[in-house]
């Protein structure tokens, strides 16, 4: 199963115990009228756990899923649960949010929504939790340090008329001349590479969306983000 996570940064200083205290027992309810009466839809933080230098938990939100059945509309309440982790690195604090797995017909709880809601809970305003970036230069260095491990490169900000993106994949990655030509016209947006000693295939974008394409448990994936991706963030 493909795992996808996005990394955010908390720009205002707040310790893990303080974050845990503010998130603990958070719950919001909103009424929703259905054909069978009124129900309460909840947004809440579950399974909050503070261990050493990591605060983890589940962001849970109820939705109404509407489907047509025999020319009628049937509404079904569903709950989306998203794991998250707060963890410091050097003098910075990062929030990693796991994207929900794809399920047909179920509304997706977007990572950006979770980050913005966390900002409201912790700071009573949007803004303190922001997106992070890995520079084009860092992704370039990542590829050039071990080009044999790279499986795919996407370039954006392309200055060629009528071309939005460029890609290198397969045997084209071995063409150093073509790679250098693409660098003249665009910036690296996405790199897909293999980490053989860990048995992982990882994709990284400049806005810190990390995708795991190989078989590994969630614990290994998250620890890889903590250990290897956090140091790359600009």
- The structural domains of the chain, with segments of one domain joined by +, span 3-131, 136-206
At 16 the pLDDT is: 97
Copy the structure tokens of residue 172: 């084209």
At 126 the pLDDT is: 83
Copy the structure tokens of residue 167: 């890609």
For tokens 């933080």, name the residue. 45
Q: Residue 50 pLDDT > 50, yes or no? A: yes
Per DSSP, the residues of 159-207 read -STT---EEEEGGGGG-HHHHHHHHHH-EEEEEEEEETTTTEEEEEETT
pLDDT tens per residue across span 54-63: 999 999 999 8
Q: Which helix (H) or strand (E) element contains residue 21?
A: helix 16-23
For tokens 């806005």, name the residue. 207
Do 222 and 5 touch, CB atoms closer than 8 A? yes
For tokens 């027992």, name the residue. 25
pLDDT band at 101 (very low <50, low <70, confident <90, very high): low
Q: Residue 102 pLDDT > 60, yes or no? A: no
What does the alpha-carbon distance between residue 134 and residue 233 come to, in Å, rounded to a whole number? Answer: 5
């Amino acid at each position: 199963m493909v795992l996808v996570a996005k990394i955010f940064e908390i720009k205002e200083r707040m310790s893990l115990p303080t974050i845990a205290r503010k998130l603990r027992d958070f719950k919001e309810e909103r009424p929703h009228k259905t054909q069978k009466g009124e129900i309460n839809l909840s947004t809440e933080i579950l399974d909050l756990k503070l261990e050493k230098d990591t605060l983890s938990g589940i962001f849970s939100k109820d939705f109404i899923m509407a489907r047509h059945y025999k020319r009628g509309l049937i509404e079904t309440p569903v709950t989306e649960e998203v794991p998250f982790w707060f963890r410091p690195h050097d003098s910075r604090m990062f929030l990693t949010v796991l994207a929900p797995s794809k399920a047909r017909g179920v509304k997706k709880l977007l990572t950006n929504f979770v980050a913005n809601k966390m900002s409201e809970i912790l700071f009573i305003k949007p803004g303190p939790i922001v997106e992070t970036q890995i520079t084009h230069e860092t992704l370039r260095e990542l590829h050039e340090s071990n080009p044999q491990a790279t499986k795919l490169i996407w370039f954006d900000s392309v200055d060629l008329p009528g071309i939005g993106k460029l890609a290198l994949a397969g045997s084209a990655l071995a063409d150093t001349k073509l790679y250098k030509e693409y660098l003249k016209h665009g910036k690296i947006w996405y790199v897909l590479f293999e980490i053989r000693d860990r048995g992982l295939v990882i994709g990284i974008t400049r806005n810190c969306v990390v995708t795991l394409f190989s078989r590994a448990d969630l614990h290994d994936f998250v620890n890889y983000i903590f250990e290897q991706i956090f140091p790359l963030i600009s």
